[in-house]
Amino acid sequence: MTTTQTSFTPLKASDRIQSLDIMRGFVLLGILLMNINSMGLAGAYGDPTVSGGNSGWNLATWITTNLSFEGTMRALFSLLFGVGMFIFMDRLEKKGAGINAANIYFRRLIWLLIFGLIHGYLLLWTGEILYDYALMGFLVFSFRNLPPIKLTFIAIVLFSIGSLWSYSDYKKDIKFIEDVALVKTYKLENKILSKELQKVDIKWEELKYKRSPEGIADYNTNMRKGYLDVVAFLAPENKDSDKDWPYRYDLWDILSMMLLGIALFKWNVLSAEKSYKFYSIMTVLGYLIGLSINYYEVHSIMASNFSLLSFSKANITYDLGRVPVAIGHVGAIMLFCKLPILNWLKISLAAVGKMALTNYIMHSLFAMFIFTGVGFGLFGTFQRFELLYIVFAIWIFQLIASPIWLKYYQYGPLEWIWRNLSYLKKHPFKKES
C-alpha cells in the first residue's frame, strides 16, 4: 500500500531523545554567552582591547569564555544540527516517504536559509549562522548514510584542511605586518609607495580606525539609531559575512562538526546510553587536551599584548582546542543526563532545546530592543562583564518560560511555522486539554 504525504508528521514529544534536547538547551544558552559580546559591543567578540576592556573582571571574563566556550558552543550547535537532520531523514525514510523525504528535507533547508537571511538583515544579527547551516545541510544529505568511522575520518580531514588554511592566512598576515612596517619606513623617508603598498596602507588605516576610540564611537552611534538606519548600517556587514563565511569556514567549521555529530549519534554516544566510566573518560580527556591548547592560545595572545598577529597565529590550533573541549562538554552533559540530580533543570533545559529556533531568534530580539535605537539604545554602554547580567536574565526567562509554553502548545511558535512550511501542511499548535 502506498504511504500518503499526510502520514509524514513531525516527531512526537514521546519519541524525542531527551539527552539531545537537554544538550541543545545547554548549547543555546552557551551561544548567547558568546554572542552577547557582539550584540552589545563593537568589535569585542574576540579582542577585549577594542571595547569592553582588557583588565580586571573584563579580562577574567574574556579568559574564561575563550578557554571554555569560544568555538565550542558553535561546534556543538553544528553537531546537533547534523544529528537533527539525520534523524529527520531517517524517520521519514523508515516510514516509506521515498522521494517525498528528500522533498521535505530540502524544503526545510530552503526555509531555514530564508529564516537566516531575515534574522541577519532584518533582525540585525551580523553573526547569523542559520544561513550557513542550511547551505551545509544540503551537503550533509549525501553523507548521512556513511558508517560512523568514515564520517569521523572525513570530519578530521576537513578539520585539517581548515587548520592548513589558517596557517596560510597566518603567513599572509606576517607578510602584511611586514609591509605595514615598510610603509611606515617609506613615509618617514618620503619614498613613493607602490600600488601594492598603497593597498596595504589603506587596509591598515581601516583596521586602525575600527579599533580606535573614534571608530568605536562612530559604530556605537550608528547602532543607537532608528531601525531602518541600523538595517542600512549593518547590511554591508551581513553581505560580507554571507559571502566570506561559506567560502572560508563552513566546510571546516560547520560541516565537519555535523558529520562528527552523526557519527557520535550512530555510536549511541549522544543518547546517554554509554556507561558512567565512558562519559567520565570522555569528559576528562576532552577537557585535558582542549583546555591545554586553549590556554596556550590565550597565554600567547596576552603575552604579545593582544597583537593582531597573535590572534591570527592562534587560529592555526583553533580546532585542536575547541573540538576536544566540545567533546568534553558532550561527556559532561551526558553524565548530567544520566545522574539522578536536578531533574527540574533537565526539564527546563530540554524545553529550551525543544524550542531552539524560537529561543535563538529571541536572543536577537532581546538584543535589538536593549542595544539599538529600536528600544533603549544601550549599545556600547556596558563593560564586557556587565553583559553577563543581561545573559543571566535571559537564561532565567527562557528556562522558566519555555516549559510553561510547552505545557500548552505542541511546539515553539517558529518551530510550528517551520514544520508547516516544510510539510506543506498545517499541524496542531495547541495541546489538547
| pLDDT confidence of residue 15 | 60
**E strand or H helix that includes residue 126:** none
| Number of C-beta neighbours around residue 412 at 10 A | 23
Predicted confidence (pLDDT) per residue in 65-99, tens digit: 999 999 999 999 999 999 999 999 988 888 877 77
- pLDDT band at residue 4 using 50, 70 and 90 as cut-offs: very low
Kindly state whether residue 205 falls inside one of the protein's structural domains: no
204 vs 198: CA distance, rounded Å: 10
Kindly state whether residue 329 falls inside one of the protein's structural domains: yes
DSSP states along 322-376: HHHHHHHHHHHHHHHHHSS--HHHHHHHHHHHHTHHHHHHHHHHHHHHHHSTTTT
Kindly state whether residue 340 falls inside one of the protein's structural domains: yes
Predicted confidence (pLDDT) per residue in 145-196, tens digit: 999 999 999 999 999 999 999 999 999 999 999 999 999 999 999 999 999 9
**How many domains does the chain fold into?**
1
Predicted confidence (pLDDT) per residue in 332-343, tens digit: 999 999 999 999
Which residues have C-beta within 8 Å of that of residue 29, sequence separation ≥ 6? 349, 352, 395, 398, 399
- What would the mean pLDDT of 101-127 be, rounded to a whole number? 95
Closest CA to 69 of 433, 350, 366, 322: 322
CA dihedral 92, 130, 347, 275 (to 10 degrees): 70
Predicted confidence (pLDDT) per residue in 356-410, tens digit: 999 999 999 999 999 999 999 999 999 999 999 999 999 999 999 999 999 999 9
Listed range (6-10, 201-205, 228-232, 281-285) with the worst mean pLDDT: 6-10
Kindly state whether residue 195 falls inside one of the protein's structural domains: no
- pLDDT band at residue 6 using 50, 70 and 90 as cut-offs: very low
346 vs 336: CA distance, rounded Å: 8
Q: For cell 538606519, what's the residue?
A: 229
Domain of residue 152: give its range. Answer: 5-165+222-423
| pLDDT confidence of residue 8 | 53
| Number of C-beta neighbours around residue 192 at 10 A | 7
Kindly state whether residue 93 falls inside one of the protein's structural domains: yes
* Residue 3 scores a pLDDT above 60: no
Q: What pTM value is reported for the model? A: 0.92
- pLDDT band at residue 44 using 50, 70 and 90 as cut-offs: confident
Kindly state whether residue 199 falls inside one of the protein's structural domains: no
159 vs 329: CA distance, rounded Å: 19
First to last CA, the chain: 34
Q: Is 300 helix (H, G, I), strand (E, B) or coil?
A: helix
Kindly state whether residue 232 falls inside one of the protein's structural domains: yes
Return the C-alpha cell found at 183: 610603509
Kindly state whether residue 215 falls inside one of the protein's structural domains: no
245 vs 237: CA distance, rounded Å: 12
Compute the mean pLDDT over every residue in the chain, rounded to the nearest whole number. Answer: 93
